[in-house]
Structure 1
Amino acid sequence: MSFNPLEHKGIPLERQVRNWRELDVTPVDPDRSDPYTKCRIITMNGIEVEAVMFSHHFNRVCPDPEVKRQLAEVRFTEQQQQKVVNWLLPGQASILETTISYEQVAVDLTAWVARMEPDPYLKQAYEFGVLEDFDHLYRYANLYEMIEHRQAEKIVDGLTEVMPGRPTLVEHRHPADNVRDPYDRAKADPLSKLHALTVMSAEQQTMNFYMTVGPQYMEPIARQLYQEIGLIEEEHVTHYESLVDPGETWWERLVNHEYNECYMYHSFMETESDPKVKAIWELHLNMELEHLRIACDLMRRHDGRDPESILAPQLPPPVTFEPNKEYLRHLLATQIDLTTLGAGYVREAHERFERMQEAIHGGEKPPSERVIDMHREKFGQEYRHQTDGQHPVESLREVRVSRD
């Protein structure tokens, strides 16, 4: 059944503030909950953090005191939503366990978006990025078994395979080659705008998470691996945020953010398996409907345009967490050796790429390679968990991008 957020009333803003008892939600059970429930929680935390930070950035450039007060009131509710969502994560989960769930989000959310994306150029951007997140999952899984003596399979539960993707070693590119061409806001499918916001938000929170938790480890290899992959996440945020048309007005961006929050909460309300978590998605959707109404009113008043002119008439099919094994294996077999040049993609190394590789690696093995060596030394082999035990591109296991 179609759902148009513009046709539904939400909870009035003055009734949205919750007390401490209401904010003190029960976290999910790390051993019994659906791994995709944790993925939905992590995704929505990223969406809410992006909403809050966007509102703060808007507040800093907005000269109208009345608008600033309106933004502040909505932003407070968004902050409460973020606290509820993020506090659903289990406190007893280790940083590495949460990290593996973060990478499961990156893999299966980005793969799903790539499959659904109508624009070929944007689709390629998601396909390119997901092979790198796929490799990060593999590197962290090896670190997890070394440090905590547990296997990542207990966390991803067979829904996502753990095996090498595009090696993290060759993901270090010159910053100029991480900037993509943006979509055209006047021509882009509304779904493309939602996809770009969603994946950008998810990658942004991963970047921030690794920036924060990496130095909390005592083990040198853990500190170093978080540092290396954290730098790649910075590349990914640049990669995805550059897809958004910079010509969008602040009012247009505000409406897109609120519409996307409605889309994501509605999607997860439709697909959630945990009744208690589902109830939170439903509650937050009803809050976001009011936030969207306010944003639309602001756009009409200050931008002189109807929000209907930029939004989809109804929400697209729900964003769905589901296995993407065959799709990812196809990408591994066809795109593992890609790198970027300018706003496009190439299969051979180029001078700027090689200079960056030499500058950052200095002729030494990076942490992402050493963690695999250390795992092999300790256990006799690396950790990976695949459906059939066969990597689709085993001959590229030690792939290096080189000149023809």
Structure 2
Amino acid sequence: MTFNPLEHRGIPLDRQLRNWRELNVEPVDPDRADPYTKCRIITMNGIETEAIFFSHHFSRVCPEMEVKQQLAEVRYIEQQQQKTVNWLLPGQASVLETTIAYEQVAVDLTGWVARMEPDPYLKQAYEFGVLEDFDHLYRYANLYEMIEHRKAEKIVDNLTEVIPGRPTMMHHRHPMDNVRTPYDRTQAEPISKLHALTVMAAEQQTMNFYMNVGPQYMEPIARQLYQEIGLIEEEHVTHYESLVDPGETWYERLVNHEYNECYMYHSFMETESDPKVKAIWELHLNMELEHLRLACDMMRKHDGREPESILARELPPPVTFEPNKEYIRQLLATQLDLTTLGAGYVREAHERFERMQNAIHGDEKPPSERVIDEHREMFGQEYRLQSEGEHPVESLREVRVKR
């Protein structure tokens, strides 16, 4: 059944405010919850956080008092939504357990988006990034067993493989080589705009998470690994945010954000396995329908355009968390040795890449390599979780990017 958010009225804004009892949601069970339920929670936390940040940025440059007041009223509700969503995560889960779930999101959300993206250039951007998050999952999984003496398979539940991707040490590129060419807002498919917002928001949330939790560990290797991968998440946010056309007006961006929130909540309402969590997705969708209506009214009044001119007339197929094992292995076999040059991709290292590598690594092994060495010293081998069949990285023997 098709669903057009523009044809539905949600909960009136003056009825959306919730009290403390309503906000005090029961978290999911860390041992029994579907791993993809946790992935949906983390994703929607990122979507709501991006909506809040965007609304603040818009308000700071907006001269219209009426618009600033409307943004503030909606933003307060979105703050309540973000708190509700994020507080679904179990408090007894360790930072590393949550980190591994974050990286599972990065792998299987970005993998799904890459498979569904119709624009070849945007598709390549997602394929490039997913191989790096895939390797981050592998590094954190080794750290998890070293520090907490538990295995990542308990968290990812064999839905996502834990094996090497593009080596993390190779992710450190000159900042200018992380800036991509944006889509053309007049030509891009509506789904492409939603994909870009979704992956950008998820990566931004991961970046923010690592910026704050990294120093909480006492173990030097843990502090250093979060520092290294946290810097790469900065690269990823730059990579994905640069895909969005900067020519979009503030009202156009506002409508796209609200439409994307409707899309994501509707997607997760359709695919959620936990009834209590599904009820929250449904409630928030009905709130977002009203937020979208208000944004559309502001676009008509202040931008002089109809929202239908930029939006899809119905929601695309639901965003789905599902295993991407074969797809990731295909990418490992064909794109492992890519790096970036300007807005494009190359297979051979270049001068700017080598300068960056030498400047940040020097003569030392980075934390991402040392965590594997220390795991081997402790357990006799590195930690992996893989399905049957030869791993493409092993068949390549080494990454062909030259240092």
Name the SS of the counterpart of 1:45 in structure 2.
helix
Moved beyond 6 Å, runs of 4+:
none
How many Å apart are 1:400 and its aligned residue? 5.1
Residue 188 of structure 1 corresponds to which residue in structure 2?
188
How many Å apart are 1:363 and its aligned residue? 1.7
Residue 77 of structure 1 corresponds to which residue in structure 2?
77
Residue 21 of structure 2 corresponds to which residue in structure 1?
21
CA distance in 2, matches of 1:253, 1:276: 31
Residue 87 of structure 1 corresponds to which residue in structure 2?
87
CA distance in 2, matches of 1:397, 1:321: 31
How many Å apart are 1:395 and its aligned residue? 3.9
Residue 371 (structure 2) pairs with residue 366 (structure 1): no
Residue 232 (structure 2) pairs with residue 232 (structure 1): yes
**Residue-by-residue CA offset, 1:291-323 (whole Å, 9 max, x unaligned):** 000000000000000000000000000000000
CA distance in 1, matches of 2:148, 2:342: 41
How many Å apart are 1:383 and its aligned residue? 0.1
CA distance in 2, matches of 1:267, 1:182: 26
| TM-score scaled by length of structure 2 | 0.99
Q: Which amino acid aligns with 1:235?
A: E
Residue 36 (structure 2) pairs with residue 39 (structure 1): no
Q: Which amino acid aligns with 1:143?
A: L
Q: Which amino acid aligns with 1:244?
A: V
CA distance in 2, matches of 1:304, 1:397: 58
- CA RMSD in angstroms, aligned pairs only: 0.8
How many Å apart are 1:397 and its aligned residue? 5.2
CA distance in 1, matches of 2:391, 2:148: 25
Residue 151 of structure 1 corresponds to which residue in structure 2?
151
Contact kept? 1:100, 1:137, Cα under 8 Å: yes
Q: Which amino acid aligns with 1:218?
A: M
How many Å apart are 1:402 and its aligned residue? 1.2
Contact kept? 1:267, 1:320, Cα under 8 Å: yes
How many Å apart are 1:391 and its aligned residue? 1.2
Residue 302 of structure 1 corresponds to which residue in structure 2?
302
CA distance in 1, matches of 2:398, 2:82: 40
Percent identical pairs in the alignment equals: 87
- Number of aligned positions between the proteins: 403
Q: Which amino acid aligns with 2:360?
A: I
Name the SS of the counterpart of 2:392 in structure 1.
coil
CA distance in 2, matches of 1:235, 1:49: 19
CA distance in 1, matches of 2:217, 2:80: 29
Q: Which runs of 5+ in 2 are unaligned?
A: none
Residue 62 of structure 2 corresponds to which residue in structure 1?
62
Residue 120 of structure 2 corresponds to which residue in structure 1?
120
**Residue-by-residue CA offset, 1:215-265 (whole Å, 9 max, x unaligned):** 000000000000000000000000000000000000000000000000000
Residue 332 of structure 1 corresponds to which residue in structure 2?
332
Name the SS of the counterpart of 2:340 in structure 1.
strand
Contact kept? 1:167, 1:398, Cα under 8 Å: no
Residue 50 of structure 2 corresponds to which residue in structure 1?
50
Contact kept? 2:164, 2:393, Cα under 8 Å: no
Residue 141 of structure 2 corresponds to which residue in structure 1?
141
| TM-score scaled by length of structure 1 | 0.99
CA distance in 1, matches of 2:381, 2:400: 21
How many Å apart are 1:388 and its aligned residue? 1.2
CA distance in 1, matches of 2:47, 2:211: 18
Contact kept? 1:204, 1:237, Cα under 8 Å: yes
Q: Which amino acid aligns with 2:14?
A: E
Residue 380 of structure 2 corresponds to which residue in structure 1?
380
Q: Which amino acid aligns with 1:57?
A: H
Residue 105 of structure 1 corresponds to which residue in structure 2?
105
Q: Which amino acid aligns with 1:354?
A: E
**Residue-by-residue CA offset, 1:318-343 (whole Å, 9 max, x unaligned):** 00000000000000000000000000
Q: Which amino acid aligns with 1:79?
A: Q
**Residue-by-residue CA offset, 1:198-227 (whole Å, 9 max, x unaligned):** 000000000000000000000000000000
Q: Which runs of 5+ in 1 are unaligned?
A: none
Contact kept? 1:170, 1:400, Cα under 8 Å: no
CA distance in 2, matches of 1:37, 1:26: 14
Contact kept? 1:338, 1:348, Cα under 8 Å: yes
